[in-house]
Amino acid sequence: MTVKTLPMNDELHSYVVTHGTPPDEIMQDLIEETERSLPGNAQMQVAPEQAAFLALLTKLVGARHVVEVGTFTGLSSLAMARGLAEGGRVVCFDISDEFTSVARRYWERAGVSDRIDLRIGPAAERLRELPAEPHLDLSFIDADKTGYPAYWAELVPRTRPGGLIVVDNVLRDGRVLAPQDASDKAIVEFNDIAVRDERVDVVMLPIADGLTLARRR
């Protein structure tokens, strides 16, 4: 089978970003503050093209009920909040008051704070606060990798037919081929769970560190 995916260097990545909807001033400020003030954790922030992709997906599905597991400093939630249909809401789950305090400032600055419900605490438990019936239009999972199977188990039954679940870091910088730690092994386990789940159609895309898109049947 011929491989058609191009290797991505910095120059080509810059070309990709500049030929999609670019981050506006608020998003660019958030990206730069995260890199400047949290250099040890900045890799947890989604790539600019991922944020644009999430905003577009939110609009494409006409999402009103959105869930995010793993918010960090808020770039992905900001993107999805901007893409919501009228009256929509993003429910964010995270365990860090420190990181999400940055997110809150930028949600306020962008005028979307009234569309975001931040819930602090273990997501595997707090996801059970959501209604049990299938109602979610879009979910984004980007948290601790060992928790992915548990988050999936809670979100798939709550996703409406035609709704999407988007999962980040499914390639682990290529280490899914040779797992090195517990997080790598958890992602390998999760990827097998997702592709075998008969409730969804799944595609894995080589965007950033790998994105899985799952559509509820």
What digits encode the pLDDT tens for the residues 146-201?
A: 999 999 999 999 999 999 999 999 999 999 999 999 999 999 999 999 999 999 99
Residue 1 has pLDDT above 70, yes or no: no
Q: Is the dihedral of CA 153, 69, 139, 204 positive or negative?
A: negative
Q: What is the largest CA-CA distance in the chain?
A: 49
Tell me the pLDDT of the chain averaged across its residues. 96
pLDDT of residue 5: 78
31-47 core/surface letters (b: 16 or more CB in 10 A; e: else): beebeeebeeebebbbb
Could you identify the residue written with the tokens 């599905």?
Answer: 61
What digits encode the pLDDT tens for the residues 22-53?
A: 899 999 999 999 999 999 999 999 999 999 99
pLDDT of residue 183: 97
| Superfamily of the domain at 10-216 | Vaccinia Virus protein VP39 (3.40.50.150)
The DSSP secondary structure of 139-186, one letter per residue, reads EEE-S-GGGHHHHHHHHGGGEEEEEEEEEE-SSGGGGGGS--SHHHHH
Global pTM reads 0.95
Residue 212 has pLDDT above 90, yes or no: yes
Domains in the chain: boundaries: 10-216
Helix (H, G, I), strand (E, B) or coil at 117: strand
